[in-house]
Chains A and B, each alone.
Chain A
């Protein structure tokens, strides 16, 4: 072996420092999990005997937890309760391995008014990521808390939050002989529910207009169903469709100009589209089978619906202008009540697994389906407007309750319990003032 060869071999085996590529360490293992965050209860700086009606920090923490993305530190484990930057000692929170820290203060702001200040910190970098001050009223304190949760969520994940949005659902109370039904709108956490319609006959299928200001629904009058559109804030409503037979499953188009619905006025139930400004009706699907539960794609170019034309209920898709009907679901013998994710890339629907009905998500590009829930009779799934969560109704004991699941299925949570049987929840779009 020549000296040169030997040198080369030596260099190959033991490269000198200067010839070595910069050190690279690859990290492949890591726990997937909710990100630790400490939301310190906001300090009340007013009269200690008359604290604010809501615990803002608690609402923020609950929202973040429900998203499945965050794991808020229970207040009892907190080593300190700073309310100002000067009071923060990041070592406290590093010791508890908290990635982020939220602190805040609430001050009185005139009669019934509040001034809320909050800040978000990166604990390890020791720097403030965000800080805001708001003024609000007692009635809006809860909404403000959701808004703060949205800001934190967006800052840390890059995706807008959807906590300050609302859900609509139907609650059935009373007895078989004396039924009492109501259409309600609540915060996304199920709190702050408001009744916008009551009836002693069935109320079904609420659907939000794209601006979040109106609801379409089916209400029975004297045993006959009709489709109504009601303004959420004023309560003003008008009857849209009351044809012979079924009038059901209304769905606003993304531009709000059309309402898709199921009608059986021409025989068996089919999908129709109504031009809301003109009141004209167009039959979109014509088939001898039952076609129902239409839902628009976010770009307004397609509708999905449920049909039993294949022998069992499955999801189908049709161009909004009409045309070829395409079957979407093939797994399981029952798939129904589909709706699109805001990105248009996923569908959520009810699927039957064995004897149970559960919530599934399908990736439309891949055609792969994931079952997210493990209930026995889960129904009426709909995406949050940021696509991160799905709200649905599930059985708890002998009644239906609201539940939310993160779209990866990791976090499932029942929302605030209402009395009565909760059905047909639907998540609002972002409110457009």
Chain B
């Protein structure tokens, strides 16, 4: 309802006006629906009409002489009464006629107004309908336009996609081709490299085997000499070691020794005490007494024997 009012305020106002007019007519215009009623003339009514159109006053004729004068008077009175009645009758008819005329005019006027209102409402309705139609038409056109635009866009996109796809495929194909070429090139390089590598490795392996066997021979030789020298050192130190009485099993001391290249003792240091001072002293003394210690001939081994550790750990009780 409100929606309607808002959308067609003019039409609604017109319609409302028309309705109000019709109601007013129904209320105030009942009399023309009823048959005319004789109205008891009343002073007020007559007066109102008389104000408007006063009948011309008739001037009485000059009165006959006396004998005749009564008669004449009577006749004149009679005539006068008749005349008055006539006038009254005529006046009433005329009033009625005027009233009817007024009524007719009023009705015609009302009718005319009603028709005009109806026509205005109709025109309004027509205008609104036309506006609505125009609006619909406009919307339709708009939608149509949009639809066409969307369609155009879709088509354009589709075209673009197809183009891109084609491009991609083309690019892919090119890439593949390049890769293929690269791969091939690499494979060839790799093959050449492998070949070189294989040759190099074979060479290295051969050298390594030779070095290995030389090293093994060397190591075996060293190990033999190491064992020989170790045993000689051990013999010499054990021969020089006099353990203090009562310091037998269970004691253990470690000493670090530094020797000159010729095996002479440079330094003896107790690095782990037995807890027995006399035992520790005897251990130090044993190393000094064994000075100089046997040394290997190989220069490689000499370094090894220049700095080492003795563990003194008596096994006999």
Q: Measuring CB to CB, which residues of chain A are less than 8 angstroms from any residue of chain B? A: 3, 10, 13-14, 17, 20, 22-36, 68-69, 94, 97, 99, 122, 124-125, 156-159, 406-408, 410-411
Partner of A27 from B219, B241, B246 at Cβ < 8 Å = B241
Tell me which of B107-115, B144-152, B308-316 binds A. Answer: B308-316
A18 to chain B, nearest CB (A): 11
Question: Across chains A and B, which 5 residue pairs bring their CB atoms closest together, nearest first?
Answer: A124-B288, A158-B277, A30-B241, A14-B219, A23-B308
Interface string of B289-315 (1 = CB under 8 A from A): 101000000001000110111111111
In the complex, the answer to whether B278 meets A27 with C-beta atoms within 8 Å is: no
Give Cα A410–Cα B242 distance, bound, in whole angstroms.
15
Known contacts being A28-B314, A32-B248, A33-B243, is A22 close to B309, with CB within 8 Å? yes
CB<8 Å pairs between A and B, sample of 21: A10-B212, A14-B215, A14-B219, A14-B220, A22-B309, A23-B226, A24-B311, A25-B230, A26-B234, A27-B286, A29-B314, A30-B243, A33-B243, A35-B242, A35-B285, A36-B242, A69-B278, A99-B281, A125-B268, A406-B246, A411-B245
With a cutoff of 8 Å between Cβ atoms, the chain B residues found around residue A34 in the complex are 242, 244-245
Known contacts being A30-B314, A34-B245, A125-B288, is A24 close to B308, with CB within 8 Å? yes
In the complex, the answer to whether A27 meets B304 with C-beta atoms within 8 Å is: no
Residues of B239-255 at the interface with A, using a CB-CB cut-off of 8 Å, are 240-248
Known contacts being A14-B216, A124-B288, A156-B277, is A27 close to B311, with CB within 8 Å? yes
With a cutoff of 8 Å between Cβ atoms, the chain A residues found around residue B247 in the complex are 32
**DSSP class of B's interface residues: helix, strand, loop or mixed?**
helix
Partner of B282 from A35, A125, A158, A410 at Cβ < 8 Å = A35
With a cutoff of 8 Å between Cβ atoms, the chain A residues found around residue B241 in the complex are 27, 29-31
A44 to chain B, nearest CB (A): 31
Give Cα A27–Cα B289 distance, bound, in whole angstroms.
14
Measured CB to CB, the nearest residue on chain A to B226 is: A23
Give Cα A394–Cα B252 distance, bound, in whole angstroms.
37
Is B238 interfacial (CB-CB < 8 Å)? yes
Measured CB to CB, the nearest residue on chain B to A154 is: B277
Is B14 interfacial (CB-CB < 8 Å)? no
Q: Measuring CB to CB, which residues of chain B are less than 8 angstroms from any residue of chain A? A: 205, 212, 215-216, 219-220, 223, 226, 230, 233-234, 237-238, 240-248, 268, 276-278, 281-286, 288-289, 291, 300, 304-305, 307-316
In the complex, the answer to whether B313 meets A26 with C-beta atoms within 8 Å is: yes
In the complex, the answer to whether A68 meets B245 with C-beta atoms within 8 Å is: yes
Extra A-B contacts (8), CB below 8 Å, given A124-B285, A156-B281: A10-B212, A23-B304, A24-B309, A30-B314, A32-B245, A33-B242, A68-B245, A99-B242
Known contacts being A27-B238, A30-B238, A158-B277, is A410 close to B246, with CB within 8 Å? yes
Measured CB to CB, the nearest residue on chain B to A24 is: B309
Give Cα A275–Cα B45 distance, bound, in whole angstroms.
169
Give Cα A108–Cα B304 distance, bound, in whole angstroms.
56
Measured CB to CB, the nearest residue on chain B to A20 is: B304
With a cutoff of 8 Å between Cβ atoms, the chain B residues found around residue A411 in the complex are 245
B237, B281, B312 — most chain A CB neighbours (10 Å):
B281
In the complex, the answer to whether B315 meets A124 with C-beta atoms within 8 Å is: no
Give Cα A13–Cα B278 distance, bound, in whole angstroms.
40
Give Cα A17–Cα B286 distance, bound, in whole angstroms.
28
B249 to chain A, nearest CB (A): 10
B212, B220, B245, B286 — most chain A CB neighbours (10 Å):
B245
Partner of A406 from B245, B313, B314 at Cβ < 8 Å = B245
With a cutoff of 8 Å between Cβ atoms, the chain B residues found around residue A158 in the complex are 276-278
With a cutoff of 8 Å between Cβ atoms, the chain A residues found around residue B223 in the complex are 14
Give Cα A3–Cα B237 distance, bound, in whole angstroms.
43
Give Cα A255–Cα B276 distance, bound, in whole angstroms.
30
Give Cα A30–Cα B235 distance, bound, in whole angstroms.
10
In the complex, the answer to whether A69 meets B245 with C-beta atoms within 8 Å is: yes
With a cutoff of 8 Å between Cβ atoms, the chain A residues found around residue B240 in the complex are 97
Known contacts being A10-B212, A124-B285, A406-B246, is A23 close to B305, with CB within 8 Å? yes
Give Cα A34–Cα B307 distance, bound, in whole angstroms.
30
Known contacts being A27-B237, A32-B248, is A22 close to B307, with CB within 8 Å? yes
With a cutoff of 8 Å between Cβ atoms, the chain B residues found around residue A410 in the complex are 245-246
Give Cα A158–Cα B273 distance, bound, in whole angstroms.
13
Give Cα A156–Cα B238 distance, bound, in whole angstroms.
21
Known contacts being A99-B282, A125-B284, is A31 close to B242, with CB within 8 Å? yes
Give Cα A159–Cα B223 distance, bound, in whole angstroms.
44
B265 to chain A, nearest CB (A): 8
With a cutoff of 8 Å between Cβ atoms, the chain A residues found around residue B314 in the complex are 28-30, 32
In the complex, the answer to whether B246 meets A30 with C-beta atoms within 8 Å is: no
With a cutoff of 8 Å between Cβ atoms, the chain B residues found around residue A122 in the complex are 281, 285
B269 to chain A, nearest CB (A): 11
In the complex, the answer to whether A27 meets B234 with C-beta atoms within 8 Å is: yes
